[in-house]
Structure 1
Amino acid sequence: TLPPKIVPRINIFLFMGLFLVCYMPHWKCPISTPNKKGTINLTEDELLTFYGILLISGYNSVPRRRLLWSDDYDVSNTAVKDAMRRNRFDEVMSSVHLVDNMKITADPFFKVRPLFKHLNDINKAIPIAEHVAWVHQFIRGKPIRFGYKIWSLASSSWFVHQMEPYVGSHTHLVETGLGQGPSVILGLAEKAEVPPGVKFYHDNLFTTLSLVDEMTLRGYGSCGTMRQTQLHNVPFTAPKTFKKTPRGDAEYLVEVKKLIVRWNDNSVVTVVSNMEREFTETEAKRWNKQKRTVDKVRQPKCIQEYNTHMGGVDLHDQFVSRYRVNIRSKKWWWPCFSWALNKHSTYGKDLLSFQRLVAQTLLLRHGTKPSRQGRRSSVAVAITDATRFHSFNHWPCNTGSRYKRCKNCGGRTSFACGKCDVPLHVECFKKYHTE
């Protein structure tokens, strides 16, 4: 039984049922879903069990998903086998759809658009943190260079409040006329209904002086790194020249409700902020390669704030990647679906414990144990045969039961091989172990 405080949090997983054939209107009755072989009658319990198995695959994965139902002791998963039959899982998997395929639109992401809309609607119920950060689309140099890119608004504690898939001109964000970066920030802020007073932290893909001015007019805090090409007429020393100054040196400019700072660290960093009107410094610890000691260097306070609160989206991606759903599909939108299934907050529990708690709850409450066992795997048969023809320690023993069938002749017998654990007549014993 789940603690009362945990039960409401698990509801974020239960909403996913709305997207397996979301065009089916009724939940209390079985859902008739078409697939290649005909129609399956899908119940809500089966759907939630399906989600539980997907979550289990994230932290207890096997090379092939069918091995989860295997009888082999090295890969067998009792929780999965006792919740849903393998063939039934395959039927549900092949019938998964988020929208009606007959309702095709010009939107390249039409198959998953309702998924992101519903996620964003749910996230609006969570109060937005004081500090939020952004992720940008950058492919070159990334460990995974190809994939779906999503503009995201996340708190410093890695909870994503708003997300929008990037699909070029079909991206559902308002064009502000300030450029792509500012349009993404302002567009997501409007969609997430961010109240005034929230502080935004963004990297140099988004940051422009016009963005900071617009954020000031809307009552938002704004702090971000800047590229040299966006500084325009700001009279700062050229980066190559400034790099030759001592580490920790800084120059700044106060301009119309914003502070622009250039600082020499491992590289030259330029930051603009509308949350500070005066230049102040703190101390930071840096490793000195020549002296091989940790030195204290001067650091602008706005850069310290940026380092403290930036990176919420990267932290979210790190957590999701740890126990990502390992079951794959040939459907192009499946990565978006499985990513959304892993999107959750732990509420005081560590990530693995929370995901296990949700998966076990779904399987125990909604799973149905199969009435009979399936066929043994080929690996198990090969192991049995290897033991069968091994010529040592095969002895007949009385099992006390008269209703077992002899493996050799099919008749009833109360004897079995103590090593092979196979029912056998005494007269069939030699024939079974030699032929």
Structure 2
Amino acid sequence: MASHLRQHMPAKPHKWGMKLFVLCDSYGFSYAFELYSGAGDNKVPSGVPDLGAASNVVSRLSQIIPDHKQHILYFDNYYTAIPLMIYLYSRGIFSLGTIRTNRIANCKLSTDKQVQKEKRGYSEEYVASCHGVDISTTLWKDNKCVRLASTYVGMKQFIKDNETEVEQKIARYDRVQKKRIEVDCPTIIREYNAHMGGVDLMDGLIGRYRIKMKTNKWTNRIFFHLIDMAMVNAYLLHRRINETYPKELKPQLPSFRKEVAAILCKHLREDITKKSVGRPRASPSPQVVKKLPKKTYLPTDDTRLDAFDHWPEWLDRSGLLGPDGPVIVQAKILLQQL
């Protein structure tokens, strides 16, 4: 499959493929996406400063987010930059993400070599004001050193619970002791782990049950992937609407895809008589002719129980609409207009 959209990504499990930037919520529901088509695709929206190729992707996808509604945007170190966080804060959008040290001007956080002798769970924080925006940069030592930047949360190692200070801990496996131990964990780490990963969740749902159809055309690949994204969105939206249902009544993704396919196949289906091919056969005797019963396509449970009025069409013996026909047609037109 030769195409200018095909990219080489050495850090990914599949090294060659098409790169999509997706805006998702914490549950994997995708709101917007953008297909990467090369270095010349660095477009800057009108009225938005040029923040760099990676940060411009976030600024373009975040245009659908309403301003000053206290939304929070999470991203990884590929996108995180101080100018991007300042721009989002000017729109009333808070942000949090892992960050690289070369993207922090005059970075005061310790290096990996300086923190090497510290115990697991060590953390440090520096807060600075840039263009009137307070930005917190935090370092936390796990197996490796993790650095984060945020405009709304910091380290804050202690929280009050029932008027007592409770230290925040997180369970980690210790290879020396060969058991799970509790280490200190800042609030910013908990926030990042709790809300980051919506895109990975969407990719996981698509990867488990996707359209497995081999093709050499990149247009077909994109088309099948978009169908999978729409199916995952519909599945997540269905579970969100029926959140009060018992767990055993909520359909899983495989059964949901099968039910949607069955509904689409039966929608507006008409019985078309097959035309015979070749020389017509001799008409059999009346005793041999047997009329087969007409096959009835029953709607699925979602169609029957969707709380919508399904108007019947009354026909006379000639097969035409009866006296109530115009009223029914008019009612259908009104329903479509609503």
TM-score (normalised: structure 2): 0.65
Matching residue's letter, 2:114:
T
Using the TM superposition, give the Cα deviation of residue 186 of structure 1 relative to its aligned residue in structure 2, in angstroms: 1.3
- Amino acid of the residue matched to residue 229 of structure 1? N
User: What RMSD in Å do the two structures reach over aligned CA positions?
Assistant: 2.7
Asked if residue 170 in structure 1 is aligned to residue 170 in structure 2, the reply is no
CA shift for structure 1 position 183: 1.1
- Distance in 2, Cα, partners of 1:303 & 1:199: 15
Equivalent residues of 1:165, 1:171 under 8 A apart: no
Relative distance call for 1:342 and 1:366 in structure 2 (3 A) is farther
Given residue 9 of structure 2, which amino acid in structure 1 is its aligned partner? I
Structure 1 residue 329: Cα displacement:
3.4
- Give the counterpart of 2:261 among 359, 375, 382: 359
Give % identity.
Answer: 27
Pick from 221, 241, 245 the counterpart of residue 118 of structure 2: 245
Matched, 1:183 2:72: no
2:151 counterpart letter in structure 1 = N
The 5 Å alignment of 1:4-403 reads 139-168=9-38, 169-170=40-41, 174=45, 176-190=49-63, 192-196=64-68, 197-256=70-129, 257-276=134-153, 279-281=156-158, 282-343=168-229, 344-346=233-235, 347-348=238-239, 349-366=251-268
Displacement after TM superposition at 1:248 (Å): 0.2
Query: Which whole-Å CA distance do the structure 2 matches of 1:235 and 1:171 have between them?
Result: 31
Paired residues of 1:207 and 1:224 also in contact (CA < 8 A):
yes
* Contact 2:74 2:95 survives alignment (8 Å): yes
- Helix, strand or coil for the counterpart of 2:185? strand
1:104 aligns with none
- Return 363-372 or 215-224, whichever deviates more: 363-372
- In 2, distance between residues paired with 1:161 and 1:363? 27
**For 1:360-419, what per-residue CA distance to the aligned partner results, in whole angstroms no more than 9, with x for missing partners?**
111223456785699xxxxxxxxxxxxxxxxxxxxxxxxxx999xxxxxxxxxxxxxxxx
Q: Which has the higher contact order (CA 8 A, sep 6+)?
A: 1
Partner amino acid, structure 1, of 2:257: Q
1:173 positional shift: 5.0
Structure 1 portions without partners, runs of 5+: 1-107, 110-136, 375-400, 404-435
Q: Distance in 1 between matches of 2:90 and 2:198?
A: 25
> Are 1:251 and 1:263, in contact at CA under 8 Å, matched by a contact in 2?
yes
Is 2:136–2:154's contact at 8 Å kept on the other side of the alignment?
yes
Query: Is the partner of 1:255 in helix, strand or coil?
Result: strand
Which residue in 1 is equivalent to 2:306? none
Q: What are the superposed Cα offsets for residues 191-224 of structure 1, whole Å, 9 maximum, x if unpaired?
A: x243431101110011112222222221111000
Cα deviation code 1:224-244 (max 9, x no counterpart): 001121123121211122133
Specify the SS of the correspondent of 1:223. strand
Quick one: which amino acid aligns to residue 247 of structure 1? R
Give the Cα–Cα distance (whole angstroms) in 2 for the partners of residues 148 and 177 of structure 1: 25
Q: Aligned pair in 2 of structure 1 residues 371, 225: CA closer, same or farther (>3 Å)?
A: same
